[in-house]
Amino acid sequence: MSSTSTASAIDPIAEAAPLSLCAREPHVPADRLVAEMVPPPRFDSVRFATYIPDPNQPSQTEAVGILEAFAAGLGGAHAVGAPKRRLFGRGKAPKTPAGPRGVYLDGGYGVGKTHLLASLWHATPAEPSLKAFGTFVELTNLVGALGFQQTVQTLSGHRLLCIDEFELDDPGDTVLVSTLLGKLVDAGVALAATSNTLPGKLGEGRFAAADFLREIQGLSARFRPLRIDGEDYRHRGLPEAPAPFSDEQVTKAAYATDGASLDDFPHLLGHLARVHPSRYGALTDGVKAVCLTDVQPVPDQSTALRLVVLADRLYDREVPVLASGMPFDRLFSEEMLNGGYRKKYFRAISRLTALARDAKGLVEGREAR
């Protein structure tokens, strides 16, 4: 049964019709794109004090101390006192301080790298407008939306830029971001990063510092690798996705849930192609739950990569996802899961699966009444 026919059978006492992501085409001004580069809601309340080091892993306690000192050192005046115009003016650019101006958090899954990165952002004694936090994908999307030079001008007055999940599987984007970071370091911006492992090394070891420092080439001397030991969750495999609900269950739950959206999955994939990925966060503004009918495998890699970005934004905002059709662990073909972007697809499956578990109560709680 389609969502349209199901909707016509909705109980007359139902609330107003749900939202539709496909009906939204947000236009996000540049200042909002930059203003939203803060730790996502999932990490809004984390601090160094809420990070509980494993007593069997002294490197975790050491990392907290080093990062606290790094944050404290970013207070006061901008590192080089460089007005942004000097990057493009005729005057001689001031020299950057000697020594590392960045930290790289190196460790496996489950050791709390993002927790520590967000804690560093919160602990840095500067106004939020002088600090930026985002994933590698969000940073490349910002360059796509603003252009390279405008991005440099916009971020060069910051004290700190935190980059989570620095992608090592896309040479073109890696060169782009490395060039951007070089400009920002020259302007006195401090950097902090975590990274993904390279595609061919998903099962090898747990550290990626050598790969990261090699990929950023000329910037490597600016980073201090900070190794964080801990249990590696890499070999647990993908969690089993919960069984999908029926179209009727999903549609009724959407009508009964305040702030829920309801969309046909293939139509939503088509709509994502018309919205710049930098706007996917705005696409979900005010949405309390995402309800999808007719989930099916994504047809191509471009579509798959857009879906990965949407999954990240939904996960960051803790928006549950209720779906009918195929389970989320069947979204991507074997070819995709064995290709260069497989790490991104594994992450999307894991995150959508977690959000699907969060959404089960939308149906089960309603049917129990």
Q: Does 64 have pLDDT greater than 70? A: yes
Q: Are residues 224 and 275 in the same domain?
A: no
Question: Do residues 251 and 279 share a domain?
Answer: yes
Q: What is the pLDDT of residue 8?
A: 44
- For residue range 142-168, list pLDDT tens digits in order: 998 899 999 999 999 999 999 998 887
Rounded Cα distance between 325 and 291, Å, is 12
Domain interval for residue 56 = 33-71+99-228
Mean pLDDT on 322-349: 91
Do 38 and 110 lie in one domain? The reply is yes
**300 has a pLDDT exceeding 60:** yes
Q: Are residues 37 and 128 located together in one domain of the fold?
A: yes
Q: Is residue 282, in this structure, part of any structural domain at all? A: yes
Which CATH number does the domain housing residue 205 bear? 3.40.50.300
- What is the pLDDT at residue 74? 92
Q: What pTM was computed for the model?
A: 0.74
- Total domains present in the chain: 2
Residue 41 domain flag: yes
Burial 54-68 (b: 16+ CB within 10 A, else e): eeebebbeebbeebe
Is 52 inside a domain boundary?
yes
How many degrees, rounded to 5, is the angle at CA 223 between CA 222 and CA 229? 170
Q: What is the pLDDT of residue 60?
A: 94
Classified as helix, coil or strand, 105 is strand
Under the banding of pLDDT at 50, 70 and 90, the label for residue 202 is: very low
Q: Is residue 27 part of a domain?
A: no
Q: Kindly state whether residue 270 falls inside one of the protein's structural domains.
A: yes
Give the mean pLDDT of the chain.
Answer: 84
pLDDT band at 350 (very low <50, low <70, confident <90, very high): confident
- For 23-32, 118-127, 245-254, 286-295, which range has the lowest pLDDT when averaged over its residues? 23-32
Give yes or no: residues 132 and 265 share one domain. no
Please indicate, yes or no, if residue 8 is contained in any of the structural domains: no
The residue from 166, 193, 228 where one domain ends is 228
130 and 197 together in one domain: yes
Residue 294, CA distances (Å) to 2, 135, 250, 307, 337 in order = 8, 30, 10, 15, 22
- Whether 210 and 252 map to the same domain: the answer is no
Per-residue pLDDT tens for 78-104? Answer: 544 344 433 333 344 444 444 578 999
Looking at the fold, whether 206 and 268 belong to one and the same domain comes out as no
Residue 318 has pLDDT above 70, yes or no: yes
Question: Do residue 109 and residue 161 come from a single domain?
Answer: yes
